[in-house]
Structures are given as structure tokens and as C-alpha cells.
Chains A and B, each alone.
Chain A
């Protein structure tokens, strides 16, 4: 069953930049999809359209078999931004419990769920810390735990590890794969990093700018589960090369021009 189904999705900002044009994409349940492309290709905008945080100018967006707006109202997806976006005045536990509070979970079930989520992201013992007492990587793990706490069918991630150093990023990649396997959710993941996209995904969607469109979809048939050794296999490098070539093919058109579309999505 398709978790996300996009048909002819087009987004124009005002009467100006066409951020996305004619996007068709089907995402099946349990997939891990990466959207990759240069700045201004509209990958973040596309993710936000899936989450009904931005409306498309044309085209249809179906999430979990219903219009995107209904899916949002039904809390069918969790979202993780580039910044952890934790509430400073709440402890780690209360940040994770936020969507549960809004969903009307009672106190006992909430506490139980928070404990499970802390275990999942390996932050047990930090429940009464405040966000500012955590490192960037730990904050992002809290953010992921919050997004997964209410068991959404779909997890939308907008460059979640973009602000982290390479070491932390690779460790969190491993953890994210573990979480993905354990939770069985579908993940749409926006990234700038080719190796990250190849390492994590079941399919990589390559996008190109002006106007934003899909220039290629590359299935990643690396064996599961993926380990640190995966990154050293020849097949991994071949796939990285394929994605890189697809990126360069797609974005040969005037790469030096300024990027108003990117600004509009920030």
C-alpha cells in the first residue's frame, strides 16, 4: 500500500519561482526514501507538502489513503527538522510526551511510552534534563523520539543530521536504521549528503533545480541490515557514483545562478 502518493505536484511561490514542477512519486509502506539534490531543488518544499505544512499550487497529495490535510489532522506523521526544535522549558521526558499530551494519552500511558522511547534512542537517565544540557546529537535523538512517540505511520525528516559533525552523523545513521527496523515505519529523509542517502535508503530520489523536479530514482539494493562494513563494500561505492552522476546530469543547467526558491523554503 502506498503511504505517500504524489501526482503532478507543482509549487510556485507567488507569481515567481517555480519550486516544484510535475512531481509524481509513490512511497510504499516500510520504505526508507531519501530526497537528495542541490540547494533550490525543492526537496524540503516537497517534504513540507507531504506534511501539509505548505500547500501545492497544483497536483494531488495523498498520505495514508487520504488528503494530506486530513492525514495531518489525524496525526499520521511525525516530523524532525534540521534543528531539534525542543521546548527549552520542558524536560527531555516532557518534550517527548508533548504529542502524547495533545493526543489525550493519560499520565500513566504517557510515562510508560516515554520510558520506551528513551530506551529506543538510548537516552535513559536523561529524562529530567533540560534540552540545553544536551549535546546537539542528543537533542536530535530526543527530537526523533518525540516524532516516533505516537507511532506515526510516516516519519518526515528534513536534513535532521545536517548540523552535526561527521562522526555523530554516522553514529546517528546507524541508530536511525535500528529505529526504522524496530518501528517498521516509513521514512522520508531529506539530505545533502550522497553517502548518507545511499547508506540509509531503500530508494534515493534525485532532484534537480529550476524548476524543481525528479531527475532520477535509484533503488539501493544493498543487503539489510546495514552495518559499518556496508560503507566499505564496492557495491556501496558504485551506488554512490550512480547517485553522484544522476545529480550532475540533473543540475548542469546554470548552477551558478542565485537561488530564490531555497530562500523561500527556509
Chain B
């Protein structure tokens, strides 16, 4: 018997969407309550374990959000939120280019390594080793090197973001390429299919779910990479620059740094959502396999 495709009717769809929003709001409210509850109780009782609380370590969350709509103390004028959104947009450009670059390189690397055991044995250790070097040590090298080639500074930052992004994509692509069903491979053999045909029509499609789970990780990593990359390249226009500035003001006004964190988290979540939506569009698979 044929199973109809589980395509939800509009009413059902709306009900599901509403349910998701409800869960989201509930969890958010719970987190808010935990923050404020901890703050209130520890300050009242004067507890110091696991850590002491005052207005500097844990400002009121409402103050954090209120700070977004006040003029910032960094002196450049304008509301904090407009400054932060502008900075987020700048960082987003670096992160997006870095993400694309890293995902592309990671994918090609994974496909290449999957085609030869010798290549895999020879190169994989270095791919792994690349990730054991702290990004903070790599970043200045990239900035100095690309700077000497007269490449725009933001692009150096994108390259640093790519450095964090390519690794999970390469590893998961490699794993996905090797996960193709054995019978499906035999079927290709029975058609005397060429290596390229097997790669494009079988191995890559069956690797897609693996690749996308790596892309989800990489999407957020690319934002972190871009922010960290801004520090040694002394770029002032991005979220990294803002973090440096508001760090200096922290003891006076902690809410601005917290507000910057909120925006940075928002940017990471936005990247994540874009990847999830792309996955929904591209990957066709049985509903029970959906992660």
C-alpha cells in the first residue's frame, strides 16, 4: 500500500508552528527565571559558591536588553543596537565568505581523500593536526601574510573563519563518501559506471546528510572564527572590535558586553537556521531518518 507523503495541511502546519513557538518562549522564560532567580537568591544570602554574584558578573537581563536601546558609552553616537547590527552585518560578511570558502575546500578535500587510501593515510594526519593549532596563533600569521599581498583585511578574517570551517566538512564528507550502500555500489558496478559517475550519482548524494550535519557545526564555527579573526587584524567595524571596546568598559557598564554577546549569538543562530533550511530543501530522505 502506498503511503501518502506526510504533507501537513495548512491548519495542522499552523498548529505545529504555534507549538514550536510556545516551546521556544517557555524555554526562554525558564532560562530567564533561572538567571534572575540565581542572582536574587545568591545576592540575598551572600553565597559565594559556585561563584559570587553582583551587578558586574550578572546584570539584570532587562538591563542588558534595555542597553540595546540606549546610546552607547563608546562615544561614536547612535543607539547601541544600530551600532551592533552594523557590526554584525560586517562580521556576517566575513563569516559567510569564510563559511563558503571553508565548506568548498572541506568538501573537495573530503571527496579527494575518499578516492585513494594512500592520499587519505598521507594527508589526513595533517588535516587533523591543523586543528590542534590554536586559532589565535594562526590568525596573526594569516593577517600578516595576506596583508603583504595587499588583500583587504576583512578577507584575511574570512580566511581565518574558513580555517575553522573546513575541518568538520572535510571529515564528514570523507565519512559520508565511504558510507554509500554496498549494494548500491554493486549496482553501479553492474552498469560499468565510471568513477566520476559513482561519485556524483551515488557517493555524494549519500554523503549529503553527513555533509549537512558538518555544515551546521561549521555555520556557527564560522561566526566564532570571524569574531576571533578580527582581534589580531585590528578591524574595528565588526563584532570582535565591539567586544574589545566593551571589554574595557565592563566594570563600569557590563550590560553593553552582554548585549554584544546576545547579538553575536543571534548571528550564529541565523547562520545555523540558513543551513537547516537549505538542508530541508536539498536533502531528500525517508522521514524516519530525519535527525
Q: Which residues of A contact B (CB under 8 A)?
A: 51, 53, 72-75, 77-79, 81, 83, 85, 87-89, 98-99, 101-103, 126, 129-135, 138
Contact A135 B5, beta carbon cutoff 8 Å: no
Asked if B12 is at the interface (CB within 8 A of a chain A CB), the reply is no
Q: A53-B189, A72-B192, A102-B193 are in contact. Are A89 and B284 (CB under 8 A)?
A: yes
Q: Give the docked Cα–Cα distance between A51 and B197 (Å).
A: 20
Q: A87-B205, A89-B208 are in contact. Are A133 and B3 (CB under 8 A)?
A: yes
Q: Give the docked Cα–Cα distance between A73 and B190 (Å).
A: 8
Least Cβ–Cβ distance between A219 and chain B, in angstroms: 29
Asked if B150 is at the interface (CB within 8 A of a chain A CB), the reply is no
23 contacts between A and B (CB under 8 A): A51-B190, A53-B189, A53-B190, A72-B189, A78-B190, A79-B187, A79-B190, A81-B183, A85-B187, A88-B286, A89-B206, A89-B283, A89-B285, A102-B191, A102-B197, A102-B201, A103-B191, A129-B2, A130-B286, A132-B288, A135-B1, A135-B2, A135-B3
Least Cβ–Cβ distance between A89 and chain B, in angstroms: 5
Asked if B287 is at the interface (CB within 8 A of a chain A CB), the reply is yes
Contact B190 A87, beta carbon cutoff 8 Å: no
Contact B191 A89, beta carbon cutoff 8 Å: no
B286 proximity list for chain A (CB < 8 A):
88, 130-132
Contact A126 B2, beta carbon cutoff 8 Å: yes
Q: Give the docked Cα–Cα distance between A79 and B190 (Å).
A: 7
Q: A129-B2, A133-B4 are in contact. Are A88 and B285 (CB under 8 A)?
A: yes
Contact B191 A75, beta carbon cutoff 8 Å: yes
Contact pattern, B 1-30, Cβ under 8 Å of A = 1, otherwise 0: 111110000000000000000000000000
Partner of A129, one of B5, B201, B288: B5
Contact B284 A133, beta carbon cutoff 8 Å: no
Contact B192 A75, beta carbon cutoff 8 Å: yes
Least Cβ–Cβ distance between A192 and chain B, in angstroms: 18
Q: A51-B190, A53-B189, A75-B192 are in contact. Are A87 and B2 (CB under 8 A)?
A: no
Give B154-203 interface residues, CB cut-off 8 Å to A: 181, 183-184, 186-187, 189-193, 197, 201-202
A138 proximity list for chain B (CB < 8 A):
2
Ordered nearest first, which 10 A-B pairs have the shortest CB separation?
A132-B286, A85-B183, A73-B192, A89-B284, A89-B205, A79-B190, A102-B191, A133-B3, A81-B183, A88-B285
Count of A-B residue pairs with CB < 8 Å: 68
Q: Give the docked Cα–Cα distance between A200 and B81 (Å).
A: 76
Q: A85-B181, A88-B284, A132-B287 are in contact. Are A53 and B186 (CB under 8 A)?
A: yes
Q: A102-B197, A135-B1, A135-B2 are in contact. Are A83 and B183 (CB under 8 A)?
A: yes
Q: Give the docked Cα–Cα distance between A74 and B188 (Å).
A: 13
Q: A53-B190, A85-B181 are in contact. Are A98 and B2 (CB under 8 A)?
A: no
Give B259-291 interface residues, CB cut-off 8 Å to A: 283-288
Q: Give the docked Cα–Cα distance between A57 and B107 (Å).
A: 40
Q: Give the docked Cα–Cα distance between A81 and B189 (Å).
A: 13
Q: Give the docked Cα–Cα distance between A103 and B183 (Å).
A: 20
Q: Give the docked Cα–Cα distance between A131 and B1 (Å).
A: 12
Q: Give the docked Cα–Cα distance between A126 and B3 (Å).
A: 11
Q: Give the docked Cα–Cα distance between A131 and B192 (Å).
A: 24
Q: Give the docked Cα–Cα distance between A74 and B190 (Å).
A: 10
A89 proximity list for chain B (CB < 8 A):
205-206, 208, 283-285
A132 proximity list for chain B (CB < 8 A):
285-288
* Given pairs A87-B184, A87-B201, A134-B2, 16 additional interface contacts (CB within 8 A): A72-B189, A79-B187, A83-B183, A85-B183, A87-B202, A87-B206, A89-B206, A89-B284, A98-B201, A103-B191, A129-B5, A130-B284, A130-B286, A134-B3, A135-B1, A135-B3
A133 proximity list for chain B (CB < 8 A):
2-5
A130 proximity list for chain B (CB < 8 A):
5, 284, 286
Give B55-96 interface residues, CB cut-off 8 Å to A: none
B4 proximity list for chain A (CB < 8 A):
133
A87 proximity list for chain B (CB < 8 A):
184, 201-202, 205-206
